[in-house]
Structure 1
């Protein structure tokens, strides 16, 4: 009996990358110090954050050693993500435009559903991730950009789900398409939760900006 052969295309899929940043413990100590110093110097801004502190989005140029090191890792990871989904992308013809900011979420702080318009990639690096057993505390949840009929739930396939939750560890970096709606569960731990979020887009080198 002849066997069927098949190929598959993940049409309309939304990739979510998870990187582990090397030497995270030493890096995170620097980032905690820089985040706390910036919070002492500024009241921050209000975006999707509720009860939490959100810095200005200028950390890709901030001179702190931790921020500088992480900024380089962010650029490397964004390029790796781009290469993974578009092997023929012409990096030599583009430059990467980015911004980044600290989030400090104390107990009960969270981020409401939002997306990052005007960019291609968005992401988050996790500096501290206090955990509680059996809790979604601090998890990030992505909402599907597609309307999938309920009967697809019987397949138990991640590609047909309407939401995906991830609870990262300290040292993890998530990168995802900026159009994905997402939000962050309230921090239920007593310790503060510190992250650096970022956006990225490729701009043609001959573009005026």
Structure 2
């Protein structure tokens, strides 16, 4: 088991340090409508060809994990946004200074289409550093259905059972996304997608990132 040791600052006042916080990032792509329209057309055309994988999805459709290898302009643009987002997370230890980081980012990704009643079982993305989802379309959810189609993350600290004022200690964290939004999280974090109730399609692109030769200058 790996152990990390921190020195205690030589001060008279108490110092608050985060021990096992889970980093997560949400970011909305400005003016994403045109990109999403093109991605939607590419994904639904691929679904129509019957190119399908079954992993965590119950119902719905999922492509094989080569979607981000596509040469369509919208796929190339999405891949570029993903790499930029992951690099910004990599640069966080140096205040976001991208000039101070080095490393190669390998990406795999797959498209998802969920319709009424479809959902995804609890899972994680072992074998990668970062994982995430980009939301192309969230369909037309039925009104009054709480957390309809939301992605929910499980607290990795199973013994947390007492609320601490000012801190999030719930057993799960639900994110209700909107089109054009990225959600990024560590690949080991377990999560699932709640059933979608409504009309239309909920379309997303999920991805895994492997960082190689990462270093700070």
What range is the shorter-chain TM-score in?
Answer: 0.7 to 0.9
SS of residue paired to 1:71: helix
Partner of 1:138: 149
Higher helix share: 1
* Counterpart contact for 1:148–1:161, Cα < 8 Å: no
Higher strand share: 2
* Aligned mates of 1:177, 1:86 — CA distance in 2: 19
Partner of 2:163: 153
TM-score by length of 1: 0.88
How far apart are residue 64 of structure 1 and its match?
1.4
How far apart are residue 31 of structure 1 and its match?
0.5
Q: Does the alignment pair 1:110 with 2:122?
A: no
* Aligned mates of 2:143, 2:94 — CA distance in 1: 39
* Counterpart contact for 2:142–2:197, Cα < 8 Å: yes
How far apart are residue 91 of structure 1 and its match?
3.3
SS of residue paired to 1:118: coil
Partner of 2:74: 66
Structure 1: unaligned runs, 5 residues or longer: none
* Aligned mates of 1:42, 1:66 — CA distance in 2: 21
Once the two structures are superposed, what CA deviation does each residue of 1:46-90 show, in whole Å capped at 9, x if it has no partner?
001110100011122101121111110011001112222565996
Structure 2: unaligned runs, 5 residues or longer: 1-11
Task: Please show how residues 1-209 of structure 1 align to structure 2 within 5 Å.
Answer: 5-85=13-93, 91-92=101-102, 94-130=103-139, 131-134=141-144, 135-150=146-161, 152-153=162-163, 155=165, 157-158=167-168, 160-204=169-213
Once the two structures are superposed, what CA deviation does each residue of 1:110-168 show, in whole Å capped at 9, x if it has no partner?
10000000001000000111334332111000001112342x2263621x221100101
* Counterpart contact for 1:122–1:177, Cα < 8 Å: yes
Once the two structures are superposed, what CA deviation does each residue of 1:4-50 show, in whole Å capped at 9, x if it has no partner?
85432221111110011122101100000000111112340000111
* Counterpart contact for 1:148–1:162, Cα < 8 Å: no
TM-score by length of 2: 0.85
